[in-house]
């Protein structure tokens, strides 16, 4: 099964993705759908349908309660950064304000001159779970999506805490679909090809099988700390090829075209643009 969240007029709707159409399933977004204990049955409902071509996709889960991110979780990326393989996952957080849709512009804040890309496999939780064992952790995974953890490196490394460089507003593409594990090679431990390109040049290519801590292990670990709830997101980390590790370093600039794709799930296509004065500050 494939699910998505679309924008319709001034609202959003959760939809089931079919070959050439998107079918509303009676929830305002995928996060709200997953909050229903019977979400799998509810997702088979037949509501109003929309043409799949040209649909305006919102972030898959627009307002997750938690976005947990994992640092240094691909073997090749860890070696690229000159570090040893970790004994435990490195966790940090993002906030919902950072999320944008699969085709929305990435806003480049005037405060940063080092905006980098990080293509990632995203885990979406479908069942509340705490201190999960392996079977419970696997069962709690509703599905997978694509996320790019766009990072302001000059802010990330201002201190030992990464959050401030990781959660600038309107910087993190997320979508296009949630794909349930039964549709993926490897199920809840999927083996998928992840690629990131900038202006047509492939800058990252890896298999999600290279993860040090796979999705089931991450759900087990994170659920030890706190309850994971439906709609929560775990970004599983990025492989090698980030701009900051290049010599010389390379970053996104106004007009850069960032494409993030994971086989069997889908792709994000986002252009970077300078944040305009009207886009700054809190909404009224």
Structure tokens at 180: 């349930």
Cβ atoms 178, 2 nearer than 8 A:
yes
Structure tokens at 26: 């009676």
Among residues 222, 59, 210, 68, which one has the least CA distance to residue 130? 222
Q: Helix, strand or coil for residue 32?
A: helix
Q: What is the largest CA-CA distance in the chain?
A: 53
Within 10 angstroms of residue 242's Cβ, the number of other Cβ atoms is 24
86 to 77, 199, 208: CA distances (angstroms): 12, 33, 17
Q: Could you give all domains of the chain from N- to C-terminal order, each with its CATH number?
A: 1-58 (no CATH), 61-278 (3.90.850.10)
In degrees, to the nearest 5, what angle opens at C-alpha 136 toward C-alphas 132 and 140? 100
pLDDT band at 284 (very low <50, low <70, confident <90, very high): very low
| Residue reference for tokens 């490195």 | 90
pLDDT 10s digits, 208-242: 999 999 999 999 999 999 999 999 999 999 999 99
Residue 283 has pLDDT above 60, yes or no: no
pLDDT 10s digits, 48-105: 999 999 999 999 999 999 999 999 899 877 776 678 889 999 999 999 999 999 999 9
Percent of all residues in the chain with a pLDDT value above 90, rounded to a whole number: 90
Mean pLDDT score across all residues of the chain: 95
In angstroms, what is the C-alpha Rg of the chain?
Answer: 18
């Amino acid at each position: 099964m494939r699910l998505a969240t679309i924008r319709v007029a001034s609202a959003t709707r959760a939809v089931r993705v079919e070959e050439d159409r998107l079918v509303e399933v009676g929830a305002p977004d995928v996060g709200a759908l997953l909050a229903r204990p019977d979400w799998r049955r509810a997702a088979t409902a037949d509501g109003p349908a929309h043409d799949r071509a040209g649909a305006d996709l919102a972030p898959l889960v627009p307002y997750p309660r938690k976005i947990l991110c994992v640092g240094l979780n691909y073997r090749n990326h860890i070696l690229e950064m000159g570090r040893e393989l970790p004994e435990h996952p490195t966790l940090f957080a993002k906030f919902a304000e950072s999320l944008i849709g699969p085709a929305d512009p990435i806003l480049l804040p005037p405060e940063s001159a080092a905006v980098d890309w990080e293509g990632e496999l995203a885990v979406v939780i479908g069942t509340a779970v705490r201190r999960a064992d392996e079977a419970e952790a696997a069962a709690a995974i509703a599905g997978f999506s694509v996320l790019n953890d766009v990072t302001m490196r000059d802010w990330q490394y201002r201190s030992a805490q990464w959050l401030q460089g990781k959660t600038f507003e309107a910087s993190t593409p997320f979508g296009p679909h949630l794909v349930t594990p039964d549709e993926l090679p490897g199920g809840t431990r999927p083996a998928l090809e992840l690629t990131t390109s900038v202006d047509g040049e492939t800058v990252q290519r890896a298999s999600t099988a290279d993860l040090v801590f796979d999705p089931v292990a991450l759900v087990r670990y994170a659920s030890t700390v706190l309850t994971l709830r439906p709609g929560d997101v775990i970004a599983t980390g990025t492989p090698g090829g980030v701009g900051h590790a290049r010599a010389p370093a390379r970053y996104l600039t106004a007009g850069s075209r960032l494409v993030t794709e994971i086989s069997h799930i889908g792709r994000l296509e986002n252009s970077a643009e300078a944040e305009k004065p009207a886009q700054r500050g809190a909404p009224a």
